[in-house]
């Protein structure tokens, strides 16, 4: 995972339900946050109206979220799924992540 400045992964309450625990995924254009109840939202990076600095490494695909051995397994599964139209219809990273969850 990306090496980030301290505070990037600071937990903030979900604006819809108030739950603090959430997944924080730095994407190319914004940060995606999703609470454990599934309320997702995007926050712009600092300099574009947000507060979190853009990390040097961002998540461009599901494989960027995984450790090496899991990445290899994922890439193998992905090759098998390459013919699955439902997976391929997930145009963005969050859609592909949700496909597996």
Q: Which positions touch Zn ion (CB under 5 A)?
A: 14, 16-17, 19, 35, 37, 39
CB 31 within 8 A of CB 24: yes
Report, in Å, the least distance between residue 21 CB and Zn ion: 9
The residue (of 19 and 73) whose beta carbon lies closer to Zn ion is 19
The residue (of 39 and 78) whose beta carbon lies closer to Zn ion is 39
Q: Indicate the SS3 state at residue 69.
A: helix
Report, in Å, the least distance between residue 38 CB and Zn ion: 7
Burial of 2 (0-12, 13-18, 19+ CB in 10 A): middle
The residue (of 40 and 61) whose beta carbon lies closer to Zn ion is 40
């Amino acid at each position: 995972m990306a090496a980030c400045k301290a505070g990037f992964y600071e937990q903030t309450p979900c604006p819809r339900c108030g739950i603090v625990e959430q997944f924080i995924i730095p994407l190319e254009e914004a940060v995606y946050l999703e609470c454990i109840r599934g309320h997702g939202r995007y926050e712009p990076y600092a300099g574009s109206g947000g507060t979190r600095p853009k990390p040097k490494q961002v998540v461009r695909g599901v494989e960027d979220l995984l450790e090496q051995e899991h990445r290899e397994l994922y890439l193998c599964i992905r090759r098998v799924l390459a013919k699955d139209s439902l997976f391929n219809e997930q145009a963005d990273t969050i859609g592909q992540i949700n496909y597996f969850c």
